[in-house]
């Protein structure tokens, strides 16, 4: 049985124009990702990994080419792109970006509350369950400053999952963590991918993280390849 294609990039180019030159960061990139895939993207610093992830995550628009998510051609210029992104994509970055004035639980709830405030009780239950899944439910009522680095990143993972994203995007998600903590976080991703068949795309320097993915892609000079 073949899985459905959850993400397709067709002939994507991304250029940055500076005063003197045009930098071609992503060149004629085609990519198909199936539902439930766990893809890692490797490449040297400056090779365009974050640029590519920002395109997939609908944070930035390609210079040319098309992005299909679950069969739908998505334009970053459409007026409701924030809503589409919020419903479709979960992000975990190297830095957690938790809101300091809110508790862990509230941070997880916020992306869902902004869409559906009337379902606050349901959202709270779901957020608690997610915090439990990532092993930090005992810290639900702590503020980010009262959490360790690993705990903060766990909360950020729970937050990324609150709207059941079609694609979970990770940009160096353990870049700020020690090896032991990173390993625990890797196991969380492995579980989410296995148990929930969550599609994951991660950019990473970590061999351990890329080793648990089911496909490694290498970005070199704007071109994505399997070696
Ligand atoms: N807004 C921008 N304007 C011009 N150049 C940029 C911009 N963003 C990134 N770049 C350049 O694009 C290249 C790829 O950057 P990036 O995607 O952040 O790489 P990576 O995440 O692989 O380290 C780098 O050479 C960077 O300097
Ligand atoms: Mg980067």
DSSP 133-180: HTT-GGGTT--GGGS-HHHHHHHHHHHHHTT--SEEEEESTTTTS-HH
Test site for ligand 1: of 16, 41, 173, most ligand atoms within 8 A of the Cβ: 16
Determine the structural domain holding residue 207 and report its residue range: 37-62+77-225
Q: What average pLDDT does the segment 15-39 reach?
A: 95
CA atoms of 198 and 163, how far apart (whole Å): 12
Max CA pair span of the chain: 55
CA atoms of 163 and 201, how far apart (whole Å): 17
Kindly state if the Cβ of 43 falls inside 6 Å of ligand 1: yes
Percent of the chain with pLDDT over 70: 100
- CATH code at position 51: 3.40.50.300
Kindly state if the Cβ of 20 falls inside 6 Å of ligand 1: no
Q: Which pLDDT belongs to residue 1?
A: 60
Contacts 24+ apart (CB under 8 A), 131-138: 131/104, 131/105, 131/155, 131/158, 133/158, 133/188, 133/191, 133/192, 134/158, 134/188, 135/184, 135/188, 136/104
Q: Is residue 10 part of a domain?
A: no
Tokens of 22: 């045009």
- What are the backbone dihedrals phi and psi of residue 223, each rounded to the nearest 5 degrees, phi first? -115, 135
| Ligand lying closest to the C-alpha of residue 175 | 2
Half-sphere exposure of residue 79: CA atoms within 13 angstroms, side-chain side = 0
Percentages (nearest 5) of helix, strand, coil residues in the chain:
40, 25, 35
Q: Is residue 200 part of a domain?
A: yes
Residue range 62-90, pLDDT digits in tens: 999 999 999 999 998 889 999 999 999 99
Q: Is residue 18 part of a domain?
A: no
User: Looking at the 3D structure of the chain, how many domains does it have?
Assistant: 1
Helix (H, G, I), strand (E, B) or coil at 116: coil
CA atoms of 57 and 90, how far apart (whole Å): 8
Q: For tokens 């992005």, what's the residue?
A: 67
Residue range 87-105, pLDDT digits in tens: 999 999 999 999 999 999 9
Q: Is residue 85 part of a domain?
A: yes
Distance 175 CA to ligand 2 centre (A): 10
CA atoms of 149 and 166, how far apart (whole Å): 26
Q: Cβ(146)–Cβ(181) under 8 Å?
A: no
Q: For tokens 């400053």, what's the residue?
A: 145
What is the DSSP secondary structure assignment for residue 103, as one 8-state letter? Answer: -
Q: Is residue 30 part of a domain?
A: no
Q: What average pLDDT does the segment 173-194 reach?
A: 94
Banded pLDDT at 3 (limits 50, 70, 90): confident
Extract the runs of DSSP E, i.e. beta strands, from the chain: 5-17, 22-34, 38-42, 64-69, 72-73, 89-92, 167-171, 199-203, 215-220, 223-225
Q: Is residue 3 part of a domain?
A: no
Q: Is residue 28 part of a domain?
A: no
Helix (H, G, I), strand (E, B) or coil at 121: helix
Q: Is residue 70 part of a domain?
A: no
Residue range 54-63, pLDDT digits in tens: 999 999 999 9
Residue identifier of the C-alpha nearest atom 6 of ligand 1: 16
Residue identifier of the C-alpha nearest atom 27 of ligand 1: 46
pLDDT at residue 188 is higher than 90: yes
């Amino acid at each position: 049985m073949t899985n459905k294609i959850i993400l397709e990039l067709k002939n994507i180019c991304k250029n940055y124009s500076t005063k003197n030159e045009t930098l071609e960061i992503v060149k004629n990139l085609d990519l198909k990702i199936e539902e439930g895939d766990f893809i890692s993207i490797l490449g040297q610093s400056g090779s365009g990994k974050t640029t590519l992830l920002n395109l997939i995550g609908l944070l930035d628009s390609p210079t040319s080419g098309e992005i299909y998510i679950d069969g739908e051609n998505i334009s970053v210029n459409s007026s409701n792109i924030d809503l589409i992104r919020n419903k479709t994509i979960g992000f975990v970055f190297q830095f957690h970006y938790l809101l300091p004035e809110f508790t862990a639980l509230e941070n997880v709830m916020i992306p869902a509350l902004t869409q559906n405030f009337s379902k606050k009780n349901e959202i709270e239950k779901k957020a608690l369950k997610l915090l439990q899944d990532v092993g930090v439910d005992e810290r639900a009522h702590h503020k980010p400053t009262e959490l360790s680095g690993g705990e903060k990143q766990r909360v950020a993972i729970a937050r990324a999952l609150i709207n059941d994203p079609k694609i979970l995007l990770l940009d160096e998600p353990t870049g700020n963590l020690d090896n032991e903590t990173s390993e625990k976080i890797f196991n969380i991703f492995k579980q989410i991918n296995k148990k929930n068949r969550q599609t994951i795309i991660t950019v990473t320097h970590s061999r351990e993280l890329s080793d648990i993915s089911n496909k490694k892609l290498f970005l070199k000079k704007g071109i994505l390849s399997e070696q």
